[in-house]
Chain A
Amino acid sequence: MTSLTDLTLAHARDLLLAKDISATELTEAHVEAVEKARALNAFVAETPDKALAMAKAADGRLANGTAGPLEGIPLGIKDLYATEGVHTQAASHILDGFKPRYESTVTSQLWRDGAVMLGKLNMDEFAMGSSNETSFYGPVASPWLPPEWTREKGRSALAGDKQGLLVPGGSSGGSASAVAARLCLGATASDTGGSIRQPAAFTGTVGIKPTYGRCSRWGMVAFASSLDQAGPIARSVRDCAILMRSMAGYDPKDTTSVDVAVPDYEAAIGASVRGKRIGIPKEYRIDGMPAEIEELWTKGIAWLRDAGAEIVEISLPHTRYALPAYYIVAPAEASSNLARYDGVRYGLRVPGKDIASMYENTRAAGFGKEVRRRVMIGTYVLSAGYYDAYYVRAQQIRTLIKRDFETVFADGIDAILTPATPSAAFGIGEKTSADPIEMYLNDVFTVTVNMAGLPGIAVPGGLSPKGLPLALQLIGKPFEEETLFSLGEVIEQAAGRIKLPEPWWA
């Protein structure tokens, strides 16, 4: 038998229900894995006592036949989900010591269904970043060793400043790293411009950003309200489908959540994709795209065609404006959403001679460089005299992007296939000193989906010639996540399950 931590979520669930394993032993195995993997820096807070107590309760329900759909499943929770009495800081210094008295809707639904919390996962500060290097708690390392690195070289870099190790992507870098390193069976993540799909792609895991409004945002630390959406990262398409069913649902406390029934997503796994019309958008064939990404895309097209899908060349003409428009809309909302972190009521306070200097001192010390940059960009684009030129135009572009998708869906396209990222994972420190635009370009294939509010899934498509994971993205119609699960599983099967790295870090 494989180790308990190597199980997929679905397999673990079946073993638990069959009473072949107990929630307690499953949790103990994961608690141990988390402890041994501290050097990866995937967790910012571990809650082993809580995990074991929850596992014990789960075992009770498994024994008396009242088990929920996630009974006894150990999960990691991204640090931006409010968890009652537990570290909740969105990996920011400014929320120092903050432990909410409330539980986010998404996590409370997970606990309702029997899941077990292992702790809080590292992330880019306030979800702003694509490499998990902006965290106040330091960067997260990917469990994937850089090409040609030995275990020893990796361990020594982990013990040091981690430079040169691979980034797990971001902002849900802790989630992706922990899932890939088998520290948890699945993790919550969140996606504002690609923060679920890009780290999933970098780590050989699966991540889905559902339709905007599918999950409640209540209790999630806000980055950009009109783009933020909760979603899972896990080791298979099926595992994501199982988690989605618990995470999704209408919440009267979030007026942007939508009252649409939550289907049994897992039932979509294995459904035939014959006759599905798959759009291939020519605008995603960007200049300077590495050959390995081009080849991956071609393979993905072939796999879906082989499964009976119809491949259709499509055009999404406003794609190239999406990234610049995103970097206006998201910082604009962020500049306002982050105004509440002012040192008055909770978190960090750095005194000053008067209220204005207390604000300045607190926010200067409490926010990292990238957050400060985006707050400044957002403040600028909303300022009198610039609002029309930036914010209003960006919103107009957003409408055009949305319309591009509506047009192709109206023409009978069921889903769209693109690469998930323009490259494989890069090294820690490799892009931090450079022009921030280089980092922002990571999101070029994913932001359009957030701008249009659509669901998108990243599924591993194989390894690059250098042995690093690469992923394909499928984009679906609003509230048709099931189609993405069906198609995603076809790719997963065709590509063959990626072999995740052995624990060289432990």
Chain B
Amino acid sequence: MNAPAAAQTRQSKLIKGATGDWEIVVGMEIHAQVNSEAKLFSGASTQFGASENEHVSLVDAAMPGMLPVINEECVKQAVRSGLGLKARINRRSVFDRKNYFYPDLPQGYQISQYKSPIVGEGEVLVDVSPTEQVRIGIERLHLEQDAGKSVHDQSPNMSLVDLNRAGVALMEIVSKPDIRSADEARAYVSKVRTILRYLGTCDGDMEKGNLRADVNVSVRRPGEPLGTRCEIKNVNSIRFIGQAVDAEARRQIAIIEDGGKIDQETRLFDPARGETRSMRSKEEAHDYRYFPDPDLLPLEFDQAFVDALAAGLPELPDAKVARFMSAYGLQAYDANVLASERESADYFEAVARGRDAKAAANWVINELFGRLNKEGIDITASPVSAEQLGAILDLIDASTISGKIAKDLFEIVWKDGGDPHAIVEARGMKQVTDTGAIEAVIDAIVAANPDKVAQAQAKPTMLGWFVGQAMKQSGGKANPQTVNEILKRKLGL
């Protein structure tokens, strides 16, 4: 495990213990459910939400004499994912059996890939903050079967088993131990999830358990060899992944600083208490007795198969960010925010097309995303369409409305819908650029406030008070630039 990458220390990531600095080292195994109609080795449906044991074929139930047959779509999805992770695609891979007994594992073994995975080494660029990007190595990606689900709360003296999930295809994506903080861990999972969602190979729905992670954490003094790691199983939210890394690192540091040593073990994260606790020790670890599955031939395909899949890939997040920066002149951070989901990137581009891209980015990020987040609405269900937001931007651009009125207009469209142009007309929201009308308003203000006039003449920044008053009295519709010009003239500034 002493890969060169693992030896890298990032000074800024060190954390202080009672006896000095510590470095956290994290490696992750992400289990991502493959987007496919049917399971990995059977024709049963993968649809979520069916009643118990509705989607169970004879193969899934491990009836005597049943044989697995590989689902080609799952193979394609794994190759697409590998390409998206800039990884080596192995044109020959082998399915192995991982043997253990559990009631929700009907075969008594999980078909997985052990020594020869379908995808080899790759890498992911991860934006940890607006100013920091790290490179996380991918060790491998392999295909495997999911297990069923044991249900313990339906009967007082029995556990029940639901096999709907049994045999569903998973991609296990193993990172190198390149992650150095909870922030990096969160950002890494988030980025992998984004890539898979772009590719359409996994929906990334963590609430349904369609993407979950085993997090390997160890600590060491900077520059020293890797410490003993503990594996935190099945963490199912990005926030919890960060919390689990922090909690586990603190626990390990405290033990070592007290003169103890870390036992290699499997642990669980308890979000309610914000701590990890032991699940099983190394001694209790299973001997899985991996061996090549004799029911399946090695999985082989040619380069043309890979090339065809590569040709059909969508633009990926990194490429999109780069294009947003060069083509639209966006800052890296804004470009990243917009590209974090394929749908939001598409939305932005629909708004930006033929318009001021920076203004479009500001509106999408600040007004739209802000509002969507607040209300917990997905971009695909946004009440304001890209066409409507584009029309609002057009109205600003034509000086028909001010920026402030535009926000009111956005609010109206959000709530009631409708064509922004028509709303502006109907509700008299147009900006007043009629100098005569504005002059009248200003004259009245000047006449009523001789003391403020004197102050402004002594201290020109007081002008702002007059602008505010004029805007207020015009109901926000006065063109601020016109107001400024007239005021300056009237006050002799």
Those 4 A-B pairs whose CB atoms lie nearest each other, nearest first: A339-B108, A225-B294, A382-B289, A226-B294
- Give CA–CA (A336, B297) in the complex, Å: 17
**Set B97, B103, B296: member contacting A344, Cβ < 8 A:** B103
- A399 in the interface, Cβ–Cβ < 8 Å? no
Query: Please, what's the 1-or-0 string for A255-275, where 1 marks a CB less than 8 Å from any CB in chain B?
Result: 110000000000000000000
Q: Are B103 and A355 in contact (CB under 8 A)?
A: yes
B residues 288-329 with Cβ under 8 Å of A? Answer: 289-291, 294-297
- A332 in the interface, Cβ–Cβ < 8 Å? yes
Q: Are A254 and B67 in contact (CB under 8 A)?
A: yes
- B287 in the interface, Cβ–Cβ < 8 Å? yes
Which residues of the other chain, B, contact A346 by a CB distance below 8 angstroms?
63
**Set B65, B97, B106: member contacting A222, Cβ < 8 A:** B65
**Shortest distance between the CB of A373 and any CB in chain B (Å):** 17
- B62 in the interface, Cβ–Cβ < 8 Å? yes
Q: Are A339 and B63 in contact (CB under 8 A)?
A: no
**Set B64, B99, B294: member contacting A221, Cβ < 8 A:** B64
Q: Are A225 and B64 in contact (CB under 8 A)?
A: no
- A391 in the interface, Cβ–Cβ < 8 Å? yes
Which residues of the other chain, A, contact B70 by a CB distance below 8 angstroms?
255
A336 touching B289 in the complex, CB below 8 Å, given contacts A342-B101, A342-B108, A359-B101: yes
Q: List 5 A-B contacts (CB under 8 A).
A: A217-B65, A219-B65, A253-B69, A344-B106, A355-B103
Name A333's closest neighbour in chain B (CB-CB): B294
**Shortest distance between the CB of A350 and any CB in chain B (Å):** 15
Name A358's closest neighbour in chain B (CB-CB): B103
Q: Are B64 and A340 in contact (CB under 8 A)?
A: yes
- B107 in the interface, Cβ–Cβ < 8 Å? yes
**Set B61, B109, B297: member contacting A345, Cβ < 8 A:** B61
- Give CA–CA (A152, B143) in the complex, Å: 63
Which residues of the other chain, A, contact B66 by a CB distance below 8 angstroms?
218-219
**Set A98, A345, A355, A391: member contacting B291, Cβ < 8 A:** A391
Q: Are A387 and B295 in contact (CB under 8 A)?
A: no
- A178 in the interface, Cβ–Cβ < 8 Å? no
Question: Which of B62, B63, B297 has most chain A Cβ within 10 Å?
Answer: B63
Which residues of the other chain, B, contact A335 by a CB distance below 8 angstroms?
99, 289
Query: Please, what's the 1-or-0 string for B6-49, where 1 marks a CB less than 8 Å from any CB in chain A?
Result: 00000000000000000000000000000000000000000000
**Shortest distance between the CB of A380 and any CB in chain B (Å):** 9
Besides A82-B64, A100-B63, 6 other A-B contacts (C-beta < 8 A): A254-B67, A255-B297, A333-B294, A344-B161, A382-B290, A382-B291
**Shortest distance between the CB of A375 and any CB in chain B (Å):** 11
- Give CA–CA (A224, B294) in the complex, Å: 8
Which residues of the other chain, B, contact A332 by a CB distance below 8 angstroms?
291
Which residues of the other chain, A, contact B103 by a CB distance below 8 angstroms?
342, 344, 355
B residues 97-113 with Cβ under 8 Å of A? Answer: 97, 99, 101, 103, 106-109
Q: How many residues of B contact A (CB 8 A)?
A: 29
Which residues of the other chain, A, contact B58 by a CB distance below 8 angstroms?
101-102
Count, A-B residue pairs, CB within 8 A: 96
Which residues of A line the B interface, CB within 8 A? 80-82, 88, 90, 95, 98, 100-102, 104, 217-222, 224-226, 252-256, 332-333, 335-336, 338-340, 342, 344-346, 355-356, 359, 379, 382-384, 387, 391
Q: Are A102 and B296 in contact (CB under 8 A)?
A: no
Which residues of the other chain, A, contact B295 by a CB distance below 8 angstroms?
222, 225, 255-256
A345 touching B99 in the complex, CB below 8 Å, given contacts A217-B67, A253-B69: no
Q: Are A253 and B67 in contact (CB under 8 A)?
A: yes
Q: Are A255 and B296 in contact (CB under 8 A)?
A: yes
Which residues of the other chain, B, contact A81 by a CB distance below 8 angstroms?
65
A82 touching B97 in the complex, CB below 8 Å, given contacts A225-B294, A382-B289, A382-B291: no
Name B98's closest neighbour in chain A (CB-CB): A336
**Shortest distance between the CB of A91 and any CB in chain B (Å):** 13
- Give CA–CA (A456, B68) in the complex, Å: 27
Name A92's closest neighbour in chain B (CB-CB): B64
Q: Are A88 and B64 in contact (CB under 8 A)?
A: yes
Which residues of the other chain, B, contact A224 by a CB distance below 8 angstroms?
294
Which residues of the other chain, B, contact A90 by a CB distance below 8 angstroms?
64
Name A257's closest neighbour in chain B (CB-CB): B67
Q: Are A220 and B101 in contact (CB under 8 A)?
A: no
- Give CA–CA (A90, B97) in the complex, Å: 23
**Shortest distance between the CB of B58 and any CB in chain A (Å):** 6
**Set B67, B99, B159: member contacting A339, Cβ < 8 A:** B99
**Shortest distance between the CB of B75 and any CB in chain A (Å):** 13
**Shortest distance between the CB of A356 and any CB in chain B (Å):** 8
**Set B69, B101, B287: member contacting A255, Cβ < 8 A:** B69
- Give CA–CA (A217, B294) in the complex, Å: 12
- Give CA–CA (A423, B123) in the complex, Å: 63
- Give CA–CA (A255, B296) in the complex, Å: 6
- Give CA–CA (A90, B68) in the complex, Å: 20
Which residues of the other chain, A, contact B63 by a CB distance below 8 angstroms?
100, 102, 346
- Give CA–CA (A387, B31) in the complex, Å: 27
Q: Are B67 and A255 in contact (CB under 8 A)?
A: yes
**Shortest distance between the CB of B44 and any CB in chain A (Å):** 14
Name A385's closest neighbour in chain B (CB-CB): B287
Question: Which of B97, B103, B294 has most chain A Cβ within 10 Å?
Answer: B294
**Shortest distance between the CB of B143 and any CB in chain A (Å):** 15
Q: Are B107 and A339 in contact (CB under 8 A)?
A: yes
Q: Are A256 and B65 in contact (CB under 8 A)?
A: no
A340 touching B287 in the complex, CB below 8 Å, given contacts A95-B64, A100-B64: no
Q: Are B65 and A336 in contact (CB under 8 A)?
A: no
- Give CA–CA (A220, B64) in the complex, Å: 7
- Give CA–CA (A252, B106) in the complex, Å: 23
**Shortest distance between the CB of B300 and any CB in chain A (Å):** 12
Q: Are A218 and B287 in contact (CB under 8 A)?
A: no
- Give CA–CA (A340, B65) in the complex, Å: 11
Query: Please, what's the 1-or-0 string for B71-93, where 1 marks a CB less than 8 Å from any CB in chain A?
Result: 00000000000000000000000
- Give CA–CA (A222, B59) in the complex, Å: 13
**Set B108, B159, B294: member contacting A340, Cβ < 8 A:** B108
Which residues of the other chain, A, contact B61 by a CB distance below 8 angstroms?
345
Which residues of the other chain, A, contact B68 by a CB distance below 8 angstroms?
255
Name B70's closest neighbour in chain A (CB-CB): A255
**Shortest distance between the CB of B456 and any CB in chain A (Å):** 84
Name A332's closest neighbour in chain B (CB-CB): B291
Q: Are A104 and B65 in contact (CB under 8 A)?
A: yes
Q: Are A345 and B65 in contact (CB under 8 A)?
A: no
Question: Which of B63, B64, B103 has most chain A Cβ within 10 Å?
Answer: B64
Q: Are B69 and A336 in contact (CB under 8 A)?
A: no
Q: Are A98 and B64 in contact (CB under 8 A)?
A: yes
Question: Which of A218, A253, A336 has most chain B Cβ within 10 Å?
Answer: A336
Name A228's closest neighbour in chain B (CB-CB): B294
**Shortest distance between the CB of A116 and any CB in chain B (Å):** 22
Which residues of the other chain, B, contact A379 by a CB distance below 8 angstroms?
289
- Give CA–CA (A224, B161) in the complex, Å: 28
